[in-house]
Amino acid sequence: MKRVLFTVLTGALTALFVLALAKDTNREWTRYQRKFLGTLDRAERRGLRGGIQQILLDDLNRVDRCTTCHVAVDKPQLALAEEPFKAHPGKLLDWHPPETFGCTVCHGGQGIASEAKAAHGDVPHWEEPLLRGPLVQASCRSCHGNVEAIAEHVPLLIKGMTLFEEKGCYGCHAVKDFGQTVSQDLTEVGSKSYLLLEADFEMMRPPHDRIHWLKRKLAHPRTLNPGVPQDRLPEGEEEVFPSAMPHVGLAEDEIEALTTYLLSLTDADYPASYVTPPGPRPAVAYASPIEHGRAVFERYGCTACHGPGGSGGRMNFNAGLGQEVPPLLYVKAYYGNNVEALKTVIREGRQPAPRQDVTRPNPPLYMPAWKDRISEEDLDALVAYLLSLHDRVAPSAESAPADVASAPPADVP
């Protein structure tokens, strides 16, 4: 009897051992390493280490295992033509050697993971998706505060920063110490937790990550936040308007650029030895006070609510003036003889905007106060610009897309 038991148990143990061995030698990464080694001759194999490769980055608080599979990123002489065996493009790894920078400071993802899906951040609850292709430019700002100095390497990021100003995002959102507080502060939107983002993933198709959520938000601000009309609510509860974020019809490439910029707004706080401080904002010489004022109008985000050139057309649910933010083409007629009153409106703002229907909630957009945010010099230039608007024709509908009120088709990605 004892002997039978002994034989059975030994058999079971051997089986378990073989199973474990098979599983271990059949890990995803061992398959890649075997395939890679198979392409090399003996001389080329010399000096290569197998097994899990691990870069410890104490200063950066990271452990990156990406080179376990990306075996040839820093060995162009051995690289193959397909991933994960390609050499790294460009000279980035010469400037940022893997042993001091690793990979995830630039690419995001999950450094410690040794399976591709997890390493690439493509698993639930991992909030740092892998940055592929030109989106990687989002990470450069966390160290290169002076983006201008590396401008030729980050065209998409710079385009995004420029668009953020041109489209008037500062009119409602602050980043660091500039911009309005009509809506969320975006200073850390690139690393804000998914819970705080109110990321309504259930309202969009996968992939459910920060990149795709931001793109979707920019393309169709109101579909992720459509509000709740009165007739769908119990008696006594107040209706909720759809998002007040204007739908200005951004083009695909504009969405890509703005997403890159938003992804660059993180709480990353690396040691000083990795970081270069931001350069000063270059001083601009304006041809006239009106040109100066136009620049102020755009940068401060007046465009966002009052339309390009003050031409109007932006939705404001339940606002007295046809549910829109008023245009500013007639400022001269109202305030031409009373410039101080105009300055007071800009300094103090007006809140809330008057309602069309007093039984419905206040309009979501109001004229914010700028008094602590604008210098006297900029204010004078702004006023000169506003008073010059009276004799301009509103920009054509093409160059100035009005707010797109309608929802997109139900199946937009």
Q: Which of residues 357-396 bind ligand HEC (CB under 6 A)?
A: 365-368, 370, 382
Least distance to ligand HEC, CB of residue 163, Å: 7
175 contacts ligand HEC (rule: CB under 6 A): no
Which CB atom, from 7 or from 321, has the smaller least distance to ligand HEC? Answer: 321
Return the number of other C-beta atoms located less than 10 Å from residue 87's C-beta: 17
Mark residues 274-293: x for contact with ligand HEC by CB under 6 A, - for none.
Answer: x-------------------
- Using CB under 6 A, which of 109, 293, 309, 312 touches ligand HEC? 109
Of residues 304-323, which lie at the interface with ligand HEC (CB under 6 A)? Answer: 304-306, 316
Question: Residue 170 has what DSSP assignment?
Answer: G
Give me the helices (H) in 154-251, please: 155-166, 210-219
174-175/62-64 β-pairing: unpaired
Question: Residue 166 has what DSSP assignment?
Answer: H
Question: With CB under 6 A as the contact rule, which of the stretches 35-43, 80-88, 201-209, 285-293 interacts with ligand HEC?
Answer: 80-88
- Using CB under 6 A, which of 246, 293, 307, 313 touches ligand HEC? 246
Phi, psi of 76 (to 5 degrees): -55, -30
Which CB atom, from 2 or from 387, has the smaller least distance to ligand HEC? Answer: 387
Least distance to ligand HEC, CB of residue 310, Å: 8
139 contacts ligand HEC (rule: CB under 6 A): yes
Of residues 44-73, which lie at the interface with ligand HEC (CB under 6 A)? Answer: 64-70, 73
Element (H, E) at 407: none
Strand partners, 324: 315
Return the number of other C-beta atoms located less than 10 Å from residue 38's C-beta: 7
Cα–Cα distance, 79 to 201 (Å, whole number): 38
Least distance to ligand HEC, CB of residue 6, Å: 41
Residue type, 139: S
- Distance in Å from the first CA to the final CA of the chain: 66
Which CB atom, from 41 or from 94, has the smaller least distance to ligand HEC? Answer: 94
Cα–Cα distance, 173 to 169 (Å, whole number): 6
- Using CB under 6 A, which of 262, 263, 329, 384 touches ligand HEC? 262
Q: Calculate ∠ Cα 346-352-354, nearest 5°.
A: 105
225 contacts ligand HEC (rule: CB under 6 A): yes
- Using CB under 6 A, which of 179, 221, 308, 313 touches ligand HEC? 221
Cα–Cα distance, 248 to 352 (Å, whole number): 23
- Using CB under 6 A, which of 174, 182, 255, 329 touches ligand HEC? 182
- Using CB under 6 A, which of 30, 54, 184, 356 touches ligand HEC? 184
329 contacts ligand HEC (rule: CB under 6 A): no
**Contact assessment for residue 285 and residue 75, using Cβ atoms and an 8 Å cutoff:** no
* Tokens 């400071």 belong to residue: 105
Least distance to ligand HEC, CB of residue 400, Å: 14
Q: Calculate ∠ Cα 252-281-307, nearest 5°.
A: 45
101 contacts ligand HEC (rule: CB under 6 A): yes
CA distances from 366 to 180, 220, 351 (A): 11, 22, 6
Question: With CB under 6 A as the contact rule, which of the stretches 13-21, 35-43, 178-186, 285-293 interacts with ligand HEC?
Answer: 178-186
Total number of residues that touch ligand HEC (CB under 6 A)? 102
- Using CB under 6 A, which of 72, 126, 173, 343 touches ligand HEC? 173
Of residues 149-168, which lie at the interface with ligand HEC (CB under 6 A)? Answer: 149-150, 153-154, 164, 167-168
**Contact assessment for residue 143 and residue 275, using Cβ atoms and an 8 Å cutoff:** yes
36 contacts ligand HEC (rule: CB under 6 A): no
